[in-house]
Amino acid sequence: MAEIDARLREDVHQLGELLGSCIRDQRGAAFLDKIERIRKGAKAARRGSAEGARQLTATLDGLGEDELLPVARAFNQFLNLANIAEQYHRIRRRRPDEPVLFEARVLPELLARLKADGHGADSLARQIGRLDIELVLTAHPTEVARRTLIQKYDAIADQLAAQDHNDLLPGERERVRERLQRLIAEAWHTEEIRRVRPTPVDEAKWGFAVIEHSLWCAVPNFLRGVDSALHAATGLHLPLDAAPVRFASWMGGDRDGNPNVTAAVTREVLLLARWMAADLYLRDVDQLAAELSMQEASPALRAQAGDSPEPYRTVLKRLRERLRATRAWAEAALHGELAPPSAVLQDNRELREPLELCFQSLHDCGMGVIANGPLLDCLRRVATFGLFLVRLDIRQDAARHAAALSEITDYLGLGRYADWSEDDRIAFLLRELDNRRPLLPADFRASAETAEVLATCREVAAAPAASLGSYVISMAGSPSDVLAVQLLLKEAGLRRPMRVVPLFETLADLDNAGPAIDRLLGLPGYRARLHGPQEVMIGYSDSAKDAGTTAAAWAQYRAQETLVDICRRHDVELLLFHGRGGTVGRGGGPAHAAILSQPPGSVAGRFRTTEQGEMIRFKFGLPDIAEQNLNLYLAAVLEATLLPPPAPEPAWRDLMDRLAAEGVAAYRAVVREHPQFVPYFRQATPEQELGRLPLGSRPAKRREGGVESLRAIPWIFAWTQTRLMLPAWLGWETALNNAIERGEGERLEQMREQWPFFRTRIDMLEMVLAKADGAIARLYDERLVDAGLRPLGDHLRDLLSQAIRAVLKLTCQSRLLSHSPETLESITVRDTYLDPLHLLQAELLARSRQRENEAGGALEQALLVSVAGIAAGLRNTG
């Protein structure tokens, strides 16, 4: 096995040593020795030492009640510090003899391949300039790290960078170490877990903070790199207004099953985004006004600045005043309705034009080297973020729209909309959409739920078009779901087009997506209201929860193929919106491979996807990391557009059909049909406790009930905590083993070698199986599960072993991830810190369940910290 890089190991050791010093200062040397015994016992036990296992168990069993929380905190912090070191290692200074990182060379190498494939310079430049990639930042119900700690972790990464120089003087190196010690002490003495559940506005502010502290810097640097690679390959530059990657958000707009997201919240978040954008641009313009002191200017700039001796400053100071007016208005409007004064910037053009005028003038006057500095960076930000920072999506469940229309039609004496057939619904909706008179009489008094739906539509109608993204309909299944939203928006006064996006989530919905969109596009008048691409959202979370990842992945693939064909037939552009999560069970995994595994034609210069919670932090929390991930997105979308993968062979389709059918049957036989599954799940995992924890603003359940009522994220999060990882692999063990027994192993190997879709699925399956641990899951059973339910746990762990054997056979390995030793080492090295946390968590769960009436206190806090630590150690948790 490859060892972790020596510099990474050195950083991890240093951070651990500094944390140990903090622990010793607070709790004494004896307590630190106890922590070290636990760590060494876990390490020895992992290597098969019975004595190490006994030492680990004995030390943990001997902990006093007052030691549970600090021990959990110690291992939680060790894992977070290891994450920081590993993340920094990806962006650290490279020695001249080290290979260039894949993320840095992926675009130049792709452009060389595209040129060799016959793509001309002009067409490549046009294609990159036209790319439409939108990353939609979403809140995460199980995001456990507090914002204040994230900021301290980022500062620790900065200090790792500060010491990464061989020529530091001893005094300089000591000062860095002192700052590191102070930051780690601050983190150690800060509570890891928030005491109260965050509000949707808190979540939106968290998203804005990622933009302010990372993406604001990363985007112009990323675009400089794209421009440089494009110029090196073609001699052409990226246009000033090019924004191949933009950002949207669901934070403050996603009201599906979250009663805390109201129309008032959406309005507040939209205003906060305008305030934040104005404030960020003010900082840029202040800097530019200080730097652009030049006198020589073009006639166009002189016409704006008059006879000022400092024309650039004159123009920029006017813009600065308008930005101040915009910021002041947005802040005042948060406290009550307030019409914007004339000085408030309303259109992106008003922000862009003064900056472009200065940019062009500098170039015209031979000062291009100045123009291409911070001024160019500011223009790139304007193109990407605009006046509104992120476009806010609205999401609501189809049933809420149907209920609102039922109330309306009942009031009008037309009967209940919910009771009508699909044909009758469509006929009514089309009639009303074409009708100029209002549907709602002035004296209509709606119920609270319908009033909220209508209030949300009024906020959409009142907001500037550029501040909003799409209106997503969860649990959509038919054309009427889309028309219903269009009608409600029309009634609210919306007179401009807005993308109304059906989200197909369950297995049946995915299979019906093609026919539903086909009928929708054929309806009279619908195309006239479309005004752009037909956007369709593909649900990864609920389809996998419904059917298992084997059948869900194939249904998602086939749905996309069908939608591509239907939109081509209707001569309509298609924009697919991928509702991916952080885990394999929710469509997660490396974005580059995932995009390249999509069906041919489904990524035609456009790509929209969700980025959730902790994955936002891991992928975009540091500017250099964000730059790497933006490079991967752009290169993958460009490659999938211009060099799409071949369509699968008919024989591969047939085999995939069989795998999916057998996978869903095996998955549902356990999750839906086994009579003991729900009680076992509730006893063996922290599912019930997760619902009590103040993690995200959204409830863990849509409604009361069994597994079907659980949201996909807590469903997966609970299994991840116990390391069984069941939702990510259940069904594959049966499907793969049956195929191998039928003599189809050679075809499976061929599919893995030649079909990116299948290869990516197997790679993701292998990665999650490497993180799974049946022995850890068994410890939870032994401590928490009734004896009568334990045979089911044994059965599930046997299925896990079968899945591992099938993947090893298919990949011709003796050990999972043998082909990726660095990834394997990264996973296994964390087990030394994870194992004690798992054992502690099982004990804490047992004690917590014995004291059901004792909410809060050190016991619950320790349980929360164990949840946070395991989530940190496994990275992609929900």
- Written in H, E and C, the secondary structure of 616-659 is HHHHHCCHHHHHHHHHHHHHHHHHHHHCCCCCCCHHHHHHHHHH
Phi, psi of 135 (to 5 degrees): -100, 120
For position 363, what pLDDT does the model report?
A: 98
pLDDT reported for residue 4 = 61
Q: Which parts of the chain register pLDDT below 50? A: 1-2, 141-142, 582-588, 700, 702, 877-878
Same CATH topology for 263-388 and 391-612: the answer is no
- Give residue limits of the domains in the chain: 6-249, 263-388, 391-612, 650-819
Q: Which of left, alpha, beta for 309 (phi over 0: left; psi -120 to 50: alpha)?
A: alpha
pLDDT at 286: 97
Tokens of 39: 């760590």
* Half-sphere CA count of 458, side-chain side, radius 13 A: 9
Exposed/middle/buried for residue 724 (C-beta within 10 Å: 0-12, 13-18, 19+): buried
The type of residue at 28 is G
Structure confidence at residue 542 (pLDDT): 76
Q: 3-state class of 578 per DSSP?
A: strand
Rounded distance between C-alpha atoms, residue 491 and residue 80, angstroms:
50
Q: What is the DSSP string of 804-872?
A: HHHHHHHHT-SSTTTT-HHHHHHHHHHHHHHHHHHHHHHHHHHHHHHTTT--SHHHHHHHHHHHHHHHH
Element counts in the chain: helices (H) and strands (E): 39, 8
Task: Please identify every residue annotated as catalytic.
Answer: 140, 545
Angle, nearest 10°, between helix axes 448-462 and 263-291?
Answer: 20
Token pair 């016991």 in the structure block, residue: 859
Q: Are strands 468-474 and 245-249 parallel, antiparallel or unpaired?
A: unpaired
What is the fold, at CATH topology level, of the domain defined by 391-612?
TIM Barrel (3.20.20)
Q: How far apart are CA 184 and CA 11, in angstroms?
A: 13
CA distance 291 to 584: 48
Architecture in CATH for domain 263-388: Up-down Bundle (1.20)
**pLDDT in the model for residue 587:** 40
Mention every residue, 6+ apart, whose C-beta is less than 8 A from residue 90: 101, 625, 628
257 CB-near residues (< 8 Å, 6+ apart): 397, 698, 699, 702, 711
Half-sphere exposure of 369 (CA within 13 A, CB side): 1
| Distance in angstroms (rounded) separating the CA atoms of residues 271 and 278 | 11
Torsion angles phi and psi, residue 473, rounded to 5: -110, 105
- Amino acid code (one letter) for 394: I
Name the H helices within 676-744: 677-684, 687-690, 712-721, 726-729, 732-741
